Structure 1
């Protein structure tokens, strides 16, 4: 009798061990259904096998006009970062180590060229070309020779320097709405090559913005064609392409850089010219102190007004939600007023 009891207990114990082993090796149970028959949310471990969202193309631009053109073409398909902060005059700006890293980490680097960004050659030398595509927006555009101010005591040396280095080119092509369209197209081409999956979006965005630039060009043609005067005096030689496009004559107080100080002889020539042409408005710009323009205006008994080279947005521009198109429309209104006095 005791033997039979021991056998029964042994069989019962063996059965319990087998059952326990089976439970420990079974697949984990799914989460219980939530109210309404929906399954409970997955845990972080459950979603770890899902593919990550695609990383957007990163575009780094040198200064404001290139930023605005790139932003218009990119739309929401790429992230656009501008290097030069708002309110900073870009002619003599130099990038920091952090700025250089931003360029190196970008998928596309967009700059104007034609000597506008004096630091660009150094930046390009350090780039990994297989990683970052480069857009020189002025490439292929016929450039004008620029106006550089010379010191009277160094007149001959200045001529020798210009001869040895070649003519100084005017980089301010974005102020001509027709040439701005070419810069937009160069940016569009680069984005389509770098991100072919969004090619149609880039083309659609570029076409829409170019249509706005075409309307701007028409507004300038219509608004300036019947102007009483054709000459205007401005603080620095930024408006040569615009003047050429619409049959005007720019008379700059300084050369291509707004920081240049004109010689007394140069100032005298400008004052005499302005008197002969009955110029009653002297234009200055937003990112540079207007001292020289005010000096000329005082000598003439003229007033001053803003003609914006759009090299960077000021806080006031941002507060008014102004962009490239809006500022160009303001420039047109300023020119119409001055040329019809």
Structure 2
């Protein structure tokens, strides 16, 4: 059995007050509905950063299932019929609206009791790549659907901590029997994220240059937080093809700003990054957007990979 102990008549709306932001919506549940958590609070997460939060905050009280498999590129993920059923039977869903349109639709159409949108628990901003005033095809679609807001907030430890606080409050409301443990776990996670933020602040404070080139415009929040400039090859879509104008622009940027490295990621092809690096006489390295953990990742969890990213950035930027 899952944690649906009481039925709700009609429709109820719950609000997360952490940071004055965030919302939970609760819908009526039907009698006899049961999840797959084996008596635990049953949480479906959209992809790795959401699953990580659920596991760290929920601890032994939650059963977490991710809709995005390890190694699967999450942006254009398709939801299977089996996953839709699983979503309907769960106690809560944790997702980030604006990153995975198909999951957004599935959640909106579901009758799941507690829906936690991580994007509503912090502030989103516009990041991306424009060339001569024109966004790439995927970026233009992203602007139209989501107001141009960049969803990659988990790469900023400060914003990720804000989301963690909201998720903790959501779990407290959804499973009040274990509220004290959720508060304790949330506080520990927020503290660790604060320490990671200090590591980044200290590690990137004194560098030879501040510009880095990456295939995927996932690092806008990180760059903004630590005074860096992200130049992305493909914009917000990691698999789109850059124009010739964009490639030329990046070659000129690399020369003017003393860029040494073109970063690529583990879940998509490194071909474009290596081609640009070869033509511009630059090296390549991994900067992981942490959309999934695989055996190619430089670590087994969020913190290990973020520390590996910091090491890579320090080397590329000539940190002292």
Scaled by the length of structure 2, the TM-score of the pair is 0.82
Alignment of 1:169-208 (within 5 A): 169-208=149-188
Residue aligning to 1:251? 231
The offset of 1:117, in angstroms, is 1.2
Alignment counterpart, residue 218 of structure 2, candidates 215, 219, 238: 238
Name the structure 1 match of 2:101. Answer: 118
Does residue 328 (structure 1) correspond to residue 311 (structure 2)? The answer is: no
1:222 — aligned with what?
A: 202
Offset of residue 163 of structure 1: 8.2
Cα deviation, residue 253, structure 1: 0.6
Which residue of structure 1 lines up, in the alignment, with residue 264 of structure 2?
Answer: 284
* Partner-residue secondary structure (3-state), 2:99: coil
Residue in structure 2 matched with residue 128 of structure 1 by the alignment: 111
Q: Does 1:100 align with 2:80?
A: no
SS at match of 1:251: strand
Match of 1:146 in 2: 127
Q: How does 1:11-26 map to 2 (within 5 A)?
A: none
Question: Cα distance 1:81–1:240, how it changes in 2: closer, same or farther (>3 A)?
Answer: same
- Kindly state the Cα deviation for residue 316 of structure 1 after the two structures are TM-superposed: 3.2
Find the residue that maps to 1:139 and give its secondary structure: helix
Query: Which runs of 5 or more structure 1 residues have no equivalent in the other structure?
Result: 1-53
Cα-Cα RMSD: 2.5
Quote how far apart the aligned CAs of 1:56 are.
1.1
Which is further off, 54-63 or 178-187? 54-63
Distance 2:137 2:192 in 1: 45
Distance apart, 1:301 and its partner CA: 0.8
Paired with 2:62 and 2:40, the residues of 1 have a C-alpha distance of 5
Q: 1:272 to 1:92 in 2, by over 3 A?
A: same
Per the alignment, do residues 161 and 101 of structure 1 end up closer, same or farther by CA in structure 2, a change over 3 Å counting?
closer
Check whether the contact 2:204–2:314 (CA below 8 A) recurs between aligned residues.
yes
Distance between the aligned counterparts of 1:62 and 1:236, measured in 2? 20
Unpaired runs of 5+ in structure 2?
Answer: 1-37
CA distance in 2, matches of 1:259, 1:164: 19
SS in 1 for 2:64: strand
Change over 3 Å in CA distance of 1:167–1:55 after alignment to 2: closer
From the superposition, tell whether residues 179 and 261 of structure 1 become closer, same or farther in structure 2 (CA, over 3 Å).
same
With over 3 angstroms needed to count, the CA separation of the structure-2 counterparts of 1:204 and 1:218, relative to structure 1, is: same
159-168 vs 183-192, which moves further: 159-168
Q: Which has the higher helix share?
A: 1
Determine helix, strand or coil for the equivalent of 2:43: strand
Cα offsets for 1:54-103 (capped at 9, x unmatched): 82110000000100011000000111111100001101111101111111
- Matches of residues 250-329 of structure 1 in structure 2 within 5 Å? 250-317=230-297, 322-329=300-307
SS of the equivalent of 1:250 reads: strand
